[in-house]
Structure 1
């Protein structure tokens, strides 16, 4: 009896397990350290930008100084805000439609090989076509409103959602699917309890890519025909050789894409806290 007792491994207590987990303060410090690297790199880029323009290595109409770019923000805040709201609405609408339709198409293709063989080559063909080449057709068909811009944003964001959705839904272990079928789970319950949670990591990664592409698609649509939006601001600034305003619009466009990316990443923290990518970040 004593020998068995000696050979029995002792399990760590709950207190030790809790200590092994990183505390909130430690996770917050890791997040700050992770954010420090891009912040330092961005600061170095701004310093290099300032030095290049201050020493007049390039003409101001080619690369404006940081001060001139900041002046474009402060001198025309209402102008930039108005056009930013237009592009934001078009981006959000295009991204939402692409996400909903993309997930639906991915589910249908996973459950139907006939639909996959029929529509997958067509989706790939549509993705290869340059959107700037077909955007004028959308203006002819739908007019100069927001519809052509939203449609271009949908086409840009649709493909990564479909591909990541199909890959994620097929990443489930076939033995696990057989087990759920053996236990009498319905296809709907299997999808909600097994397939969808397993597909979330890859699907969220596709949504991150789609969010940034939706911004690009909305601006591309505005390049073709629009009287509002950041694409319109960029075209007007380019025509007037106002590079400060052009840089300001590009910065806002980039921040919009980064903001959407960050929103999905925050949602990822709550939807898949169990995933290895979240645990490794601590």
Structure 2
């Protein structure tokens, strides 16, 4: 009777291994550069062939010129720098308030039955509402100054922090919970030494979302409630059909959002270096 068992080496050879396609093997910088060139090419073709009006969509060269112009104004310290600093201040304060207050509410929701049963339904109900529609209310309550912009920026970005914090408190291992109970740890000690450290990856997930949405909240508040920041400059440029200026200002706002996101990533790598997701991100880079 013949032996139908394959040798171990032959068994390994028969295992189907999925090979990465050529597009997946392209290095990230090259892939990003190629995608950018393709985007600019399509943009140029759309404007040069008259498919889109220059008033609606300016040429890439005209937009690049305005980007340089805005950058020079920011470096020279003119009114654009003052407007940018005002928006940055609104974003920074809104982000800090969202993180601190969101963490407190997240702990209340994730750690107490009262928070889960009584507070969480109201948080979910408010989160389903169009938050930008609250801008006139914040202006009526806090005036046309910076306070209303900070309040709306925090209001827009606080909900991911609440959810991330509450979810993180439930991420602790059950065996670790039992160990803390067996050694007589108090509820506060378990929270500080076990649940909060174990929940930091979830917390930072919410904070990363908040770092991006806070910029949108501040700009929306300037659109609807006046102000002296970049949102006001965009509104004026749009009213004058100066689309290159609108694109330029939006680009620098995206740099502000990227800076906020980068700071959160930096903090996560310093505080949650032990987590596998953080290690994977570092390995990819």
Both proteins in one fold, TM over 0.5: yes
Runs of 5+ in structure 1 lacking a partner? 1-31
Deviation at 1:130, TM superposition (A): 1.2
Deviation at 1:225, TM superposition (A): 1.8
Asked if structure 1 preserves the Cα contact closer than 8 Å seen for 2:111 and 2:169, the reply is: no
Aligned residue-pair number: 251
Deviations 1:82-105 (A, max 9, x none): 222111110111111010011111
Counterpart residue number, 1:184: 184
Q: Distance in 2 between matches of 1:163 and 1:188?
A: 20
Counterpart residue number, 1:261: 261
Q: Distance in 1 between matches of 2:183 and 2:214?
A: 42
The DSSP-based 3-state class of the residue aligned with 1:129 is coil
Deviation at 1:70, TM superposition (A): 2.6
Q: Distance in 2 between matches of 1:97 and 1:156?
A: 11
Q: Distance in 1 between matches of 2:181 and 2:263?
A: 36
Alignment of 1:2-13 (within 5 A): none
Q: Distance in 1 between matches of 2:230 and 2:236?
A: 10
Q: Distance in 2 between matches of 1:210 and 1:36?
A: 30
Deviation at 1:39, TM superposition (A): 4.1
Alignment of 1:60-209 (within 5 A): 60-76=54-70, 77=73, 78-209=78-209
Match status 1:45 vs 2:36: no
Asked if structure 2 preserves the Cα contact closer than 8 Å seen for 1:127 and 1:155, the reply is: no
Runs of 5+ in structure 2 lacking a partner? 1-25
Counterpart residue number, 1:25: none
Q: Distance in 2 between matches of 1:110 and 1:116?
A: 6
So what's the TM-score if we normalise by structure 2? 0.82
The DSSP-based 3-state class of the residue aligned with 1:220 is helix
Counterpart residue number, 2:22: none
So what's the TM-score if we normalise by structure 1? 0.83
Q: Distance in 1 between matches of 2:266 and 2:34?
A: 23
Counterpart residue number, 1:16: none
Asked if structure 2 preserves the Cα contact closer than 8 Å seen for 1:154 and 1:214, the reply is: yes
Deviation at 1:45, TM superposition (A): 1.9
Counterpart residue number, 1:238: 238
Deviation at 1:51, TM superposition (A): 3.1
Counterpart residue number, 1:54: 48
Deviation at 1:75, TM superposition (A): 3.2
State the Cα RMSD in Å: 1.9
